[in-house]
Structure 1
Amino acid sequence: MLDLSRVNFYLKLSRPIIWIIILPYYLFPLGGRLDLLATWRFWLGLLYFTFPVSIMMFGINDMADTDVDKYNPRKAHDYFGNQASKSDLFGLWKVIMISNMIPLGIMSIITADWIFYSGYFIVALSLNILYNLKPFAFARKAPWDLPFTPVGFLILVTLACHLNQVPLPKAGPCLFYVSSTLTNHMIAELLDIDCDTLGDKRTTAVVIGKAYTCAFIGALIVVQLLILTPLCNIFKAMLHCGGDASILVSYISQSFFRGQAACQSWEGSRSFLLSMYARYTAKFSFVVYAFAKGILA
């Protein structure tokens, strides 16, 4: 019998609200190909980029971070996972394997290409293990935490292109993918910096501190703006970058000017919710535009 409480538990682990950050890297390289909307390949890939990709990424992360997440009020919110114990996570490996192998198996059978999809799964799983789990745990060994997210998303972009039989993106879009995923990664590290410090998790943000992390994120946003402007126009580029900037400005205001205590739940505050909605609205609008026009393909 299906245990709905466990289904809800695993769904929360996959961070559905962050799917909107992951799905663009499926849609960006397919931009300008609206004909793909009429194909099974497109919709199968889109579904794969929701729960299966996310449960592998965030599920393995939660298995590795039970010692840190107990300090993290962000994990107490429904949209950012769970403060799960090791016993709560029993059976998670089975969920990760089944949720990934079924859609990848369907892709392999229908395309008659077992080698690519098997290779993708091995590489993606290996990256997540190297990043999160001991004895490797590069997530805790700054600055080696930085390259994993961009590399992982470039692999996802390769999967999207291969499945939908479109060429790989040009250099400009790839540079944007790297800078934008690194921005997302550093924003996540910034939000967790106080709690990671308490849990002795040495991320890049913990090592360089709040001020330099904010400056680094600001520089990455400028890099995105410089890459995007020649590909579309300054106003569309500012729409995307403004979403990231809204989170950064809200964090700086809350942390540096309002005396927020370590690990206080800023994520439950009104300023965070407003900046989060502004960020996601801006990103959604930009993703629709980029997919329709093909500027990042």
Structure 2
Amino acid sequence: MWNELKYIFKLSRPRFWLYLAGPALLGMIFGVTETSNFLTLHNLAVGLYFLIPANIMLYGINDYFDRDIDEENPKKDEKEESYRSSKIVDSVIGLSALAAIPVALSLPQRVYPLMLVFLGLSYQYSAPPLRFKTKKYLDSISNGLYAFPFFITYTWLSGSLPPASVMAGAWLWTMSMHTFSAIPDIKPDREAGIQTTATYLGRTGAYGYVTAVWILSAAAMTLHSIYLGTIFLIYPVLTTLVFYLDIDDSRAYWWFPYINVFTGMVISISGLWVLVHG
């Protein structure tokens, strides 16, 4: 049992936990107007859902439906593992998916459509019949699921959707991040007959797409805040450097969790400063 629990921990991609939990935290920070509304047990419970169960659900579904092709995936080494089915593993993934129900029921009805889209994209990104991850451009677009924890918590606490420019900027950011993450997989995905945005465009085209979409993301954020737009401009600059300095794609891929945590921390601290000091 201990080995299975360790496997589930690794399956959940702890390096990437903040890709869901981070946006949820940002939605809370920018969605509340008073610190007393931020530091609550309810907020903590919702945040913990997006930190652990949501990640187990998302990556468990992904690895289950990718189990046949992951044997050729170079990422499935010491950092990630291929799917290993067992009663405990399957049960934990199932319970993690069901955890969305009490979380959703604890929130106001206005967030239900957002929660449904998040869960739908989380499943159909990897699972048939749609399996967005195997369809060029749709794989990128559907990765907007990572922005939904922000949309959900912001809408819950503020009473309205985030500004349209912020929603667009966040969705565009996730689209680009997905395609950048898929560049190291171009060879194994092509060998497995999977068409993604990255395999369709090729390495050079994918870098061009990633850079262009991240520029659009920064532009959308600038419409709301020049400060935010400036932070988001870091990403197209970095991908340009990675490409022209011919840095190994897999090496650069593992830098970005740290870069994303850093930029998220800067935005979070800024939001908390405004929340506390006005």
**Is the Cα contact below 8 Å between 1:187 and 1:217 reproduced in 2?**
yes
Greater shift in the superposed pair: 62-71 or 160-169: 160-169
Structure 1 residues 13-69: Cα deviation after superposition (integer angstroms, max 9, x where no partner):
111111222223213333342433321221111101111111222111111112322
**Is residue 211 of structure 2 the alignment partner of residue 218 of structure 1?**
yes
Quick one: distance in 2 between partners of 1:116 and 1:89? 37
Task: Please name the residue that 1:15 is paired with.
Answer: 13
Quick one: distance in 2 between partners of 1:24 and 1:229? 21
Structure 1's 22 and 154: CA in aligned 2 closer, same or farther, altered over 3 A?
closer
Structure 1 residues 170-201: Cα deviation after superposition (integer angstroms, max 9, x where no partner):
21111112111112211122232222112221
Structure 1's 116 and 170: CA in aligned 2 closer, same or farther, altered over 3 A?
closer
Q: Which has the higher contact order (CA 8 A, sep 6+)?
A: 1
RMSD in angstroms over aligned alpha carbons? 3.1
Which among 269, 273, 278 is matched to residue 288 of structure 1?
269
**Is the Cα contact below 8 Å between 2:169 and 2:218 reproduced in 1?**
no
Task: Please name the residue that 2:82 is paired with.
Answer: 83
Quick one: distance in 2 between partners of 1:284 and 1:62? 29
Structure 1's 286 and 158: CA in aligned 2 closer, same or farther, altered over 3 A?
closer
Deviation at 1:147, TM superposition (A): 2.6
Task: Please name the residue that 1:45 is paired with.
Answer: 46
**Is the Cα contact below 8 Å between 2:58 and 2:122 reproduced in 1?**
yes
Structure 1's 132 and 273: CA in aligned 2 closer, same or farther, altered over 3 A?
closer
Task: Please name the residue that 1:141 is paired with.
Answer: 135
Structure 1's 288 and 198: CA in aligned 2 closer, same or farther, altered over 3 A?
farther
Q: Which amino acid aligns with 2:229?
A: A
* 1:1-297 correspondence runs (5 A): 3-32=1-30, 33=32, 34-78=35-79, 81-84=80-83, 88-91=84-87, 92-102=89-99, 104-105=101-102, 108=105, 123-150=117-144, 152-153=145-146, 155-161=148-154, 163-164=156-157, 166-234=159-227, 236-243=228-235, 245-246=237-238, 249-250=241-242, 253-254=245-246, 267=250, 269=251, 277-290=258-271, 292-293=273-274
Structure 1's 130 and 275: CA in aligned 2 closer, same or farther, altered over 3 A?
closer
Stretches of structure 2 lacking an aligned partner (at least 5 in a row): none
Deviation at 1:10, TM superposition (A): 1.0
Structure 1's 177 and 201: CA in aligned 2 closer, same or farther, altered over 3 A?
same
Q: Which amino acid aligns with 1:89?
A: S
Q: Is the partner of 2:245 in helix, strand or coil?
A: helix
Structure 1's 37 and 184: CA in aligned 2 closer, same or farther, altered over 3 A?
same
Provide TM-score, normalisation by structure 1. 0.77
Q: Is the partner of 1:8 in helix, strand or coil?
A: helix
Quick one: distance in 2 between partners of 1:239 and 1:120? 26
Q: Percent identity between the aligned chains?
A: 18
Structure 1 residues 106-129: Cα deviation after superposition (integer angstroms, max 9, x where no partner):
662x56x6x778877665444333
Quick one: distance in 2 between partners of 1:208 and 1:13? 29
Quick one: distance in 1 between partners of 2:11 and 2:58? 10
Stretches of structure 1 lacking an aligned partner (at least 5 in a row): 261-265
**Is the Cα contact below 8 Å between 2:29 and 2:271 reproduced in 1?**
yes
Quick one: distance in 2 between partners of 1:140 and 1:106? 30
Task: Please name the residue that 1:263 is paired with.
Answer: none
Q: Which amino acid aligns with 1:65?
A: D
Quick one: distance in 1 between partners of 2:225 and 2:271? 9
Deviation at 1:154, TM superposition (A): 5.2
**Is the Cα contact below 8 Å between 1:60 and 1:129 reproduced in 2?**
yes
**Is the Cα contact below 8 Å between 1:145 and 1:203 reproduced in 2?**
yes
**Is the Cα contact below 8 Å between 2:11 and 2:60 reproduced in 1?**
yes
Quick one: distance in 2 between partners of 1:66 and 1:5? 19
**Is the Cα contact below 8 Å between 1:41 and 1:163 reproduced in 2?**
no
Quick one: distance in 1 between partners of 2:255 and 2:118? 34
**Is the Cα contact below 8 Å between 1:175 and 1:227 reproduced in 2?**
yes
How many residue pairs get matched? 271
